Structure 1
Amino acid sequence: MVRPILTLLLCLMLLPAPARAGLDPHRREVIQSLFPSATVIGERRADLPVYPVYQLQELLGYAYESTDLSHLQGFAGKPIRMMIGLDTRGRFTGVRVLEHHEPVFLHGLGEAPLFDFVSQYAGHSLREQILIRTGSEARGKTVDGDPVYFDGVSKATVSVLIINDTVLSSALKVARQTLADFAQAPPTRVRPDVYRPLDWPGLLDQGFVSQARISAAQVEQALGRPLADYPEPPAVAADGLFSELYVAYLNAPMVGRNLLGDAGYRALMARLEANEHVLLVASRGPYPHVGPEFVPGSTPERIGLVQNRLAVEIRDLNWLDASLGPRASGQPAFDAVNLFRVTGNAGFNPGAPSELRLHVELARNHLVHDRTTVTLPVRFNEALFEPVAATDPDARRTPVWQGIWRERAGTVAVLVVALALLTLFFTLQRRLTRWPRLVHGFRWGFLAFTLLFLGLYAQGQLSVVNIYTLLLALWDGFSLDVFLLDPVLFLLWSYTVVTLVLWGRGLFCGWLCPFGALQEMVAWLGSRLRLRQVKVPERWHRRLILLKYPILLGLVATAGHSLTLAEQLAEVEPFKTSITLGFVRAWPFVLYALALLAAGLFIHKFYCRYLCPLGAGLAVLGRLRRFHWLTRIERCGRPCQRCRHRCGINAIRRDGAIDYNECIQCLECVVILRDPEQCVDSLLRRKQARRSPARIPVREVPATTPRP
């Protein structure tokens, strides 16, 4: 009798615990999937929003929802809610997406790439430096502290970077408060009053610069074979030196002023953001700390920084020049020097010990490589620092958007130059339109740039969804960080808002919209193919152009009720299918986008004129326009109708007035007006001049606003 009772009790102990208050069945099921061997899922802790997970009496780890510990918003303006499992060794047991509103996954690529991305965290440790790569590159090394590369998601780079930052930052909060191995040393800060002139030997002797010498014998011992066995061994120095490394913390005046000089130190600190750290790493010998394939401005492959057994990301600043570089008296000649910004989620305490890891990789043949890592202790003189009270780790972290802007610095620079050139062109339009070939050449060149670079490469297609994001941000609490996550869209929206006041909606719709540029090219193709162009009767045209306004109103109203439904209805825009995804999508979406382009073969910019909700929103805001740039003269519309007939988008009324709500600022009407061979007024005046020797002046009239 006793044995069956004991057996029953044991079985009951092994059964999963029933759902308790605060742990609904769905959440319990997700946590169980992260810890398959769990028998008990504890109550959520009062001091930290995590669920302890046990197998019988053994603690397996913790599960938690990311939104309880991280408030980073996704690309859609809402946080990406995930359940994350972390074991007692600081390794991820898995990540599950519970809720998100990322448009590119919901209504573009599908959710499978998102789920595939987060599945990569399982089995990886917080001690690894997890970096995101787009494309199909190998995931890299998996030794603790070495870089581990996750496959990103093409077309969704911003979203996966947000996910990565959310997962790592929240997991570190949990680890530091629950796992003894992740406890932090007391934080420190630089003492600004510590400085005296020192030369290079003095900096080394007093520990203001860390030095480590690696001999060829050490490397051979770690590799397990002589360097001479390799087909292309590094040339070992006569004294057996393999590599000699120096590390200095430049934020400290004692170090920065002595190494860079007073002017260089001031220039460096002026360029740094608050709470940013800069390390100078220099090396001598046949194996420097960066290899021949190192790209300035990137993360180095050969070295890594580790503190408290956590990888700390370092990234080259690419700031070294004649005015900013080491110049201490008595310093040796270096084979490589770099300034590295210390970033990443792990944080960095300059007053605490850390390690610099040198990764050595030598090829045995074209298929086999031997790898080893040499660990070098780094500890700076304690006199440089003073203890401070602990602060919120989030306050010390570099915002995600700053890293994204650094990554896309080249794209941003090209876009800024292009926008400056476009602004100059529009400012000088009255002069430049005297040369029609110049105007036409510039326009078609810029449209090609907009479609190929801005749209297909830089993913700079504005959307009505961006308007949802703004409205929701204003409702829930505005944060500029959300809009800074995509530098291209941020710059385009900022530029568009400013130019709405100067030129109206036409500057964006006619020059900076990638789908608009594609429609322009399709219309050109239709004319080349001699397809019959349909002229919509004026009375129907005036009615049809109003369609886009109720579409806009309906989408905005729906967003207030259900963001998910509004994102689905926003598929009325073909932008995602054609520009973002390059027509690689389910056939109904592709068919819809192609149908709109096909309509544009016969009706010039059909979608822009009658259906585009984004164009409607910009037209409403464009009523703030303060200037009328497009010149009109007396005979425009009275009786001349040439510009009206030549206007592809039908934005000129019978009386010659320009409808700025519909005008795309192609400048064709101004070109006609400036061309004495096309403008009827010029032709008539020349004819009159031949009859009368008196010169008849050309009289311009102010540009008119269309009657309601």
Structure 2
Amino acid sequence: MHRHLLPALLLASFLALISASSFAAKTPYSTNVQPEWLKEVLPQAETFSEKEMGEAPVYRGYRTNPDTGEQEQVGFVFTNRDYPPMRVGYAAVIDVLVGMDMDGVVTNMKVMDYNESYMYSRGDFVDNSIFYSQFRNKPITDGFRVYRDVDGLSAATATSTAIARSVGETARKVARFYMGFGEGSEAEQNSNENARMLLEEMSWDDMLAQGMITELESLSAEGETLTMAFTYIGRRALGEFFIGEEAYNNVESDASFRAGGGELLLIMPRGPGAGRGFRQFPMSMEQDGIVRRVAGNRYSNAGDAVEGAIVGHANYGVVVAMHPDFDVTRPFTIIYHPPGANKTDASVDYTLGGLGLSLARNELILSEEELLAQQLENASFLTRLRLDPPWGATPWSDVVLLLGILGLVMAAFFTKNSKIRWVALAATLLYLGFYKNGFLSVSHITSVIKLGPTAITNNLTTFIIIVFTVITTLLWGRIFCSSLCPFGALQDFISHFRPKKWRIKVPQKVHDNAIYIKYAILALIVVTAAVNPALSIFQYFEPFGTLFFFSPSVVLWGILLAILAGCFLVERFYCRYVCPLGAALGVVSLVSPLRIKRVEQCTMCKVCEHACPTGAIRGEKIDFKECVRCDICDTKLITLAGTCRHSIDEIKRRKHHISRLPLVDLEADTPATVTS
């Protein structure tokens, strides 16, 4: 009955410590919109309406017009929850409140509620003023894409992506419903947005290479060099991109009034012969052998090159409304007739290509995500992995550094070189622990229970560590615990530098019972995750999250300090008695075939038993689930330290004549004696 008393008391103490907060551990937020939040996301509003329900729920914001004294609407406030489907972050959906003015510009946003596992260690890590500021005065025509027009939160790509896409997608839905944002069907509206985003990514040289732009060299009437660039702008996305919204509206209206409409061709003159102001360049168009002179009523002034892609590539813009019989999707020739006698015509063939051709054909422009989805529809597994890896863009610098650390870990393991191992431990603690926060946690197990395999494949470096840990544990045991766990490395540094007189040897009976506490903790965490996925308690048993993320929780810091105190007194205290991840790896290591070798001398020797930092050795037997593959006993066999240096016959002879054998204490400079 007394055998299990200590483990029960220790576990009960932990549960008592966290009971006030762990089982009520919910996010300190609300999905109920608070009145002050409305003003926070739409600051120019003075008053707000009640929430309008229906197909597109919103709050309307108003202010008093200083000129008329009347109330006028200045924008909308809305939540992404009212516009499903909601984006999922690392662990769950994220509730966002968004403000938008009447011009389709996001004024601000606020994360109302989220339940990411990292918050238990890092606190409210989304509450980042720099991250929030990126969403102030952001047009809904932007991409809202992390690592493009939005900088993500550190070590939280999935969370950042969910927030950014939620803001952009929800704002566009509201703008379509109330403000007529875009034209046509939702697919057509998405196509226009995709076209604008693709155009913004193109350079002038890109458009020349694609055939969207062609150029003609000639001379002016005065004999000066004249370069004219031509491009099709018969679709709004193209026109606004090249000359700006206002200029495009003007030329579209003018062409409709003067020429009755028609496809629009933009002329972009530059060079000394172009002059500084609008002029009608005498020209003809030829297609299928038919030549048509461009009449004067078909020219429109696009204004000076002060806005759009034309800036820096032309002095001004001239737009030609083409004859209705011309098909811009097929090749045609542009012929320029220089004014003056004896001037030779100049011509250039124009075959519209690239994005311009797709728009001219009224093809839907797909986003990168939609194009990728088409490519992946019938692709092989390897092709899908190459084109759309679950972790997104490959962080090559992080991968190379991580592989270097893994190489150090395995080099130390195979060579049993203590210097290499200390280098690996330092890299693990400083880089993976404090810098990258790239350590494994039992939370990865609970996340898989809640979300499936995607919980561990959305971060490549974490996935590599997991694969490495699983393979090495299955083959050799808990190599991860030895040299790749930042908190394990910290414990080894503590043991190495703390005064030896502080070390306490745990009574064998107490130790034998206490090692099972971590298995009980593991079971508690896993069962809780399975029964109630919304509840997370792992942070109360994994202090490294508190340390490396600098948690704001006083309770978590208290637990961390208590565990560190134990580590100062007992080697690998946390690994021995508390670590749930170590417990899980210990269970896996039971099937490991490549275990530590034992020799006949081990039946009479106590050197390795006394030196084992986790107390896993008893005489010649090793409790392999408790072994962290620290190399101490392997090294003793290689160097023939202690009793290992004597033959078994010599040991038997000495044992027969004397009761004490001279052995070498691993942590002493002089031989010590222990009872065989």
**The TM-score by the shorter chain falls in which range?**
0.5 to 0.7
Q: Equivalent residue for 1:604?
A: 571
Q: Say which is worse superposed, 122-131 or 204-213, in terms of deviation.
A: 204-213
- AA partner of residue 64 (structure 1): T
Q: 2:490 aligns to what SS in structure 1?
A: helix
Query: Does the aligned pair in 1 maintain the 2:126–2:153 contact within 8 Å?
Result: no
Q: 1:26 aligns to what SS in structure 2?
A: coil
1:160-559 maps to which residues of 2 (within 5 A)? Answer: 160-175=160-175, 179-183=179-183, 184=188, 187=191, 208=211, 210=213, 356=309, 380=353, 388=363, 395-396=370-371, 406=393, 408-420=395-407, 422-423=409-410, 426=413, 429=414, 432-433=415-416, 439-473=417-451, 478=452, 480=454, 482-504=455-477, 506-526=478-498, 529-559=499-529
Within the alignment, does 1:92 sit opposite 2:106 as a pair?
yes
Match of 2:605 among 640, 643, 666: 640
Give the whole-Å Cα distance in 2 for the aligned partners of 1:383 and 1:109: 51
Q: Equivalent residue for 1:682?
A: 645
How many aligned positions are there? 474
Within the alignment, does 1:51 sit opposite 2:26 as a pair?
no
Query: Does the aligned pair in 2 maintain the 1:461–1:489 contact within 8 Å?
Result: yes
Query: Does the aligned pair in 1 maintain the 2:31–2:113 contact within 8 Å?
Result: no
Query: Does the aligned pair in 1 maintain the 2:61–2:76 contact within 8 Å?
Result: yes
Give the whole-Å Cα distance in 2 for the aligned partners of 1:45 and 1:245: 50
Query: Does the aligned pair in 2 maintain the 1:155–1:580 contact within 8 Å?
Result: no
Query: Does the aligned pair in 2 maintain the 1:455–1:579 contact within 8 Å?
Result: yes
Structure 2: runs of 5+ lacking an equivalent: 1-29, 63-70, 193-204, 217-224, 232-240, 246-306, 320-350, 374-384, 655-676
- AA partner of residue 102 (structure 2): T
Change (3 A) 1:668 1:240: farther
Shift of 1:681: 3.7
Change (3 A) 1:66 1:402: farther
Could you state the TM-score of these two structures normalised by the residue count of structure 2?
Answer: 0.59
Give the whole-Å Cα distance in 1 for the aligned partners of 2:597 and 2:230: 66
Q: Equivalent residue for 2:583?
A: 616
Q: Equivalent residue for 1:73?
A: 88
Change (3 A) 1:685 1:111: closer
Change (3 A) 1:444 1:111: closer
Shift of 1:596: 1.9
Q: 2:139 aligns to what SS in structure 1?
A: coil
Give the whole-Å Cα distance in 1 for the aligned partners of 2:130 and 2:190: 38
Give the whole-Å Cα distance in 1 for the aligned partners of 2:318 and 2:520: 66
Change (3 A) 1:52 1:59: farther
- AA partner of residue 613 (structure 1): P
Give the whole-Å Cα distance in 1 for the aligned partners of 2:639 and 2:61: 83
Task: Show CA shifts across 1:252-283 (max 9, x none).
Answer: xxxxxxxxxxxxxxxxxxxxxxxxxxxxxxxx
Give the whole-Å Cα distance in 1 for the aligned partners of 2:412 and 2:491: 22
Q: Identical aligned pairs, as a percentage?
A: 24
Shift of 1:487: 2.5
Shift of 1:357: 8.4
Shift of 1:85: 3.0
Query: Does the aligned pair in 2 maintain the 1:44–1:52 contact within 8 Å?
Result: no
Larger radius of gyration: 2
Q: Equivalent residue for 1:159?
A: 159
- AA partner of residue 652 (structure 1): I
Shift of 1:592: 3.2
Q: 2:571 aligns to what SS in structure 1?
A: coil
Q: Equivalent residue for 2:536?
A: 566
Give the whole-Å Cα distance in 2 for the aligned partners of 1:59 and 1:357: 33
- AA partner of residue 164 (structure 2): N
Shift of 1:69: 3.6
Q: Equivalent residue for 1:195?
A: none
Query: Does the aligned pair in 2 maintain the 1:30–1:83 contact within 8 Å?
Result: no
Q: Equivalent residue for 2:548?
A: 579
Give the whole-Å Cα distance in 2 for the aligned partners of 1:392 and 1:74: 21
Query: Does the aligned pair in 2 maintain the 1:74–1:102 contact within 8 Å?
Result: yes
- AA partner of residue 484 (structure 1): T
Task: Show CA shifts across 1:188-223 (max 9, x none).
Answer: 9xxxxxxxxxxxxx999896264799xxxxxxxxxx
Give the whole-Å Cα distance in 1 for the aligned partners of 2:453 and 2:243: 32
Q: Equivalent residue for 2:75?
A: 60
Q: 2:625 aligns to what SS in structure 1?
A: coil
Query: Does the aligned pair in 1 maintain the 2:208–2:214 contact within 8 Å?
Result: no
Query: Does the aligned pair in 2 maintain the 1:105–1:114 contact within 8 Å?
Result: no
Query: Does the aligned pair in 1 maintain the 2:519–2:580 contact within 8 Å?
Result: yes
Structure 1: runs of 5+ lacking an equivalent: 1-23, 134-146, 189-201, 214-238, 248-304, 310-353, 361-373, 434-438, 692-708
Q: Equivalent residue for 2:66?
A: none
Shift of 1:492: 1.4
Task: Show CA shifts across 1:5-64 (max 9, x none).
Answer: xxxxxxxxxxxxxxxxxxx99348488444545654564444xx5437375895834623
Within the alignment, does 1:661 sit opposite 2:625 as a pair?
yes
Give the whole-Å Cα distance in 2 for the aligned partners of 1:467 and 1:65: 29
Give the whole-Å Cα distance in 1 for the aligned partners of 2:159 and 2:650: 65
Query: Does the aligned pair in 1 maintain the 2:87–2:166 contact within 8 Å?
Result: yes
Query: Does the aligned pair in 2 maintain the 1:74–1:80 contact within 8 Å?
Result: yes
Give the whole-Å Cα distance in 1 for the aligned partners of 2:242 and 2:404: 39
Change (3 A) 1:308 1:392: farther
- AA partner of residue 495 (structure 1): F
Q: Equivalent residue for 1:337?
A: none
Q: 1:406 aligns to what SS in structure 2?
A: coil
Change (3 A) 1:601 1:101: same
Give the whole-Å Cα distance in 2 for the aligned partners of 1:87 and 1:203: 35
Change (3 A) 1:688 1:245: farther
Change (3 A) 1:67 1:496: farther
Task: Show CA shifts across 1:67-95 (max 9, x none).
Answer: 844543222x2121212233332211332
Q: Equivalent residue for 1:631?
A: 597
Give the whole-Å Cα distance in 2 for the aligned partners of 1:616 and 1:690: 42
Within the alignment, does 1:673 sit opposite 2:637 as a pair?
yes
- AA partner of residue 495 (structure 2): A
